[in-house]
Structure 1
Amino acid sequence: MSVVDLVEHAPAVSRSLSDAAGRALAAARIVEAAPDPYLPGHWVLKAGSKVGAVAVHVPGEEEPVTLRITPKVPIARLFFLLGYSLDPRGWRDGQVDVAEHLEVLPALAHAYERQVERAIGKGLLQGYWAMEDSALVVRGRIREAEQVRRRYGAALPVEITYDEFTTDIAENRLLRAATDRMLRLPGVPRGVRTRMLHQRARLAGITPLVRGQRLPEWRPSRLNSRYQPALHLAQAILEGASVEHLPGGLRIDGFLFEMNKLFEDFVCVALREAMLPYGGRGVLQAKDVHLDEDRRVRMRPDFVWYGQRGRPRVVADAKYKAGKADGYPDADLYQMFAYCTALGLAEGHLVYAKGNTPHAGHHVRETGTVLHQHALDLDRPPDELLAEMGALAQGMIRTAHV
């Protein structure tokens, strides 16, 4: 099996690849890929912000090409960012068990299997699930529209719907789907795979999800509290799973984290949580923001904090990307200035993953607007990182004049 190892946002490297595999990677936009002009049979590959592992299945080749992309941040830190974004109260301590694994997929498989064991180790959760059936006796409620459409006025059988107390509920369906998905991915360690097969056997009676079907919805409650960490990871696995069928029978199968989104989610959730004591409300991906009076040009800031009277007081955008050699990208400043203008704010905040300076402030000429650029060090321990986010939120509130 051919394995290609890359590092997130590292310099481009030349690797031996078939033309079909190279074209597949280029078409899928997982990495930047182009034929090496100096070495026939080689492709120049450069990883961007996607991390994880994928297998490229090329027709006519016996073994797939496995591409592994390692993040720049430590694996444990990546899973802290993920866990906190999904459930800030349940994951606040950052203790996500990834064992000794140094790659994304093995660590994810280990963490997920441990959470599933904690969820279902003492038995599957039961609950009520809406069932639809054709029966000779009435149970529950008659589906009148279906009765007319299917039976054309006949009295029997009756189309009914009823609630059944069962283990075949949304929570267990999600766990089965994510477990099935992990077992098909390349690079799951043998020991983890063995334990996961044991978990899969416990879920054997649960209805599998149909590919392309919407994920079943579940709501946090006291009854499913032990399931919640596993369910959050299951949703991340199912949403981050990548299966693409490309022209010519090519298939790419794997799992990828988009670090841009992961960093954005963490920053916005952390700001929202840190601002809770100040009242108001924090909105992620604010939708009701427009640049023009006619409300035709829609804008979507990553985070807006509205004060107690419902007026916007703080706007922030998270930017996970490399800065310039001497500072931050100018385009980000133009974007933030537009947000401040549309929201009527005198200050705006850009939050970066690291950077060349811890803080930079720009006073826009003739307007009085100040654009702040902050840098977070993701290599810091979780407690220190959350403390830094708390101080950042406090500074934003203090300068918002509320």
Structure 2
Amino acid sequence: MTDVLRLTEHRPRRRVCLSAPQAALLAASGLVTVAPEPDGLWRVNADREMVGSVRLSAGGESIELVITPKLAVQRLFFLLGYAQTGMTWHREAVDVQQHDDLVPAVAHAFARMCERALGQGVLMGYRTVEESAPVIRGRLRTAEQIRRRYGGLLPAEVRYDDHTADIAENRILLAAARRLMRAPGTSPGTRALLRRVAVRLDGVSALPPGRQLPVWQPSRLNTRLQNPLRLAELVLNSHSYEFGEDHALRADGLVLRMWQVFEDFVTRALAESLGAAGGRCLLQDRRFHLDHAGTAQLRPDLVYEPPGAGAPAGVVDAKYKRSREAGSHTGDLYQMLAYCTRLGLREGHLVYAAGSGVTGSRHRLHGDPGITVHQHVLDLDTEPGVLLAQVDAVAEAVHPTKPRTTALPIIGSF
């Protein structure tokens, strides 16, 4: 039977030799769709907009699933930087072009980033410790001492600040290094680098499984760690996909939702571009409802308010799918119509990840007053500078800084 199943995002693979338990594992994961074919073979399709590598196991059966993104890894890596609060990983001296799969590229990049950052020494910090001690150190917790040891002097209930490497930043880095060492597809050379990271972080305590990541704040002291920390958070949070009620299913690896990566890139890059003109951009704005009772909440990807306006002037929704000619994606038009109607706007903007339609085209919808929905298409498989220039063009359409000199083509009416 198949031990390693390699797929490409949105491309079905036919006549796959799987055992019935392996097919059940894949179906239970929700990462792919599985359908039987003649002669006991299977058709597997990576149509859930997820990419990465994961080892699935339950009841003694296991299979390693690798889903390669359609987008080149170095392009995807650039998008991930914006998905993680705008960190520009593509500017790091990390060679990800040599990797065709996502997980080896992420593991190698993380190991190299940590090697450079920790090469200057492990970051130390102060951590507040409360404990029972045989000697008084720091401050005596009087109330706790009386409550727990009334009449006794020792041990003492004390609180003090300890200068240690066991801080939130180092805990996150250590947890990510250990997870990537276990991830399928990580090369022996990268695993050796990750082991060196773990050795440098000796004395740092492990994160309890299932707990939220500790909170850290960017500062001058941890500047050199911020890029690897953002990437570590991406690795550790990638385990958040659900497996329904099948608690026996175990998964080890790294899986990313491509629609979320695209949405985060578009909104953060647009917010950065629109920010040059002032005002504010609200991401996933939850202030508005479609009904008066407030039960039908709207959540547009981005709402732009220019300086001093106090009201929305633009709305954008990102779609990780291919735009097409008139007559398709009617649901997207309904959604944007609801946004514009509720926000009192005459224009709305849809941004697609690819398409055969005309970039910058528009749909003029029926109604009084009429609403125009602009359709934009980004070419993700291009250089970062060119892609950001495309985003700037979308920002210019959302909030023009100068009058348009040419009319946009009208795709159709609705």
Moved more, 305-314 or 104-113: 305-314
TM-superposed deviation, 1:339: 0.9
Counterpart code for 2:236: L
The 3 A distance-change label for structure 1 pair 346 and 193 is same
| Residues 243, 252 of structure 1: 8 Å contact kept | no
Q: How does 1:297-336 map to 2 (within 5 A)?
A: 297-309=296-308, 310-323=310-323, 328-336=328-336
User: For 2:150 and 2:293, how far apart are their aligned partners in 1?
Assistant: 52
SS at match of 1:221: coil
SS at match of 2:355: coil
| Residues 259, 319 of structure 2: 8 Å contact kept | yes
| Residues 76, 96 of structure 1: 8 Å contact kept | no
The 3 A distance-change label for structure 1 pair 97 and 5 is same
Q: Give CA-to-partner distance per residue, 1:266-295, whole Å, 9 cap, x none.
A: 000000000111111111111212212333
Partner of 1:387: 389
Partner of 1:167: 165
Counterpart code for 1:289: F
Partner of 1:116: 114
Partner of 2:294: 295
Q: How does 1:95-110 map to 2 (within 5 A)?
A: 97-110=95-108
SS at match of 2:186: coil
SS at match of 2:303: strand
Partner of 1:349: 349
Partner of 1:369: 371
| Residues 14, 43 of structure 2: 8 Å contact kept | yes
Counterpart code for 2:128: A
Q: Give CA-to-partner distance per residue, 1:322-369, whole Å, 9 cap, x none.
A: 445766411111111111111111111110001112233111112321
Q: Give CA-to-partner distance per residue, 1:45-64, whole Å, 9 cap, x none.
A: 11021000111224344xx3
User: For 2:90 and 2:98, how far apart are their aligned partners in 1?
Assistant: 21
- When the two chains are superposed, the root-mean-square deviation of aligned CA atoms in Å is 2.4
Moved more, 374-383 or 304-313: 304-313
Partner of 1:3: 4
Moved more, 241-250 or 283-292: 241-250
| Residues 81, 87 of structure 2: 8 Å contact kept | no
User: For 1:306 and 1:200, how far apart are their aligned partners in 2?
Assistant: 46
Q: Give CA-to-partner distance per residue, 1:190-239, whole Å, 9 cap, x none.
A: 11111111111111210100001110111111111110110000000000
Aligned residues: 397
SS at match of 2:250: strand
The 3 A distance-change label for structure 1 pair 165 and 45 is same
Q: Give CA-to-partner distance per residue, 1:248-278, whole Å, 9 cap, x none.
A: 8442222101100000000000000001111
Whether 1:86 aligns to 2:76 is no
Counterpart code for 1:343: L
The 3 A distance-change label for structure 1 pair 21 and 375 is same
User: For 1:284 and 1:250, how far apart are their aligned partners in 2?
Assistant: 34
User: For 2:136 and 2:300, how far apart are their aligned partners in 1?
Assistant: 53
Counterpart code for 1:54: V
Partner of 1:214: 212
TM-superposed deviation, 1:19: 1.1
| Residues 130, 159 of structure 2: 8 Å contact kept | yes
Partner of 1:359: 360
Partner of 1:205: 203
Counterpart code for 1:2: D
Q: Which runs of 5+ in 2 are unaligned?
A: 404-414
The 3 A distance-change label for structure 1 pair 123 and 324 is same
TM-superposed deviation, 1:161: 2.6
SS at match of 2:318: strand
User: For 2:68 and 2:90, how far apart are their aligned partners in 1?
Assistant: 24
Whether 1:129 aligns to 2:112 is no
Counterpart code for 2:21: A
Counterpart code for 1:311: A
User: For 2:176 and 2:85, how far apart are their aligned partners in 1?
Assistant: 18
The 3 A distance-change label for structure 1 pair 282 and 154 is farther
Q: Give CA-to-partner distance per residue, 1:347-399, whole Å, 9 cap, x none.
A: 11110001112233111112321111111110111110001101210121019
Percent identity over the alignment is 45
Q: Give CA-to-partner distance per residue, 1:50-96, whole Å, 9 cap, x none.
A: 000111224344xx311110101110000000013324364475865
User: For 2:392 and 2:23, how far apart are their aligned partners in 1?
Assistant: 45
Counterpart code for 2:120: K
- TM-score normalised by the chain length of structure 2: 0.89
Partner of 1:53: 53
Q: How does 1:262-273 map to 2 (within 5 A)?
A: 262-273=261-272
- TM-score normalised by the chain length of structure 1: 0.91
User: For 2:96 and 2:266, how far apart are their aligned partners in 1?
Assistant: 22
SS at match of 1:289: coil
| Residues 286, 300 of structure 1: 8 Å contact kept | yes
| Residues 73, 378 of structure 1: 8 Å contact kept | yes
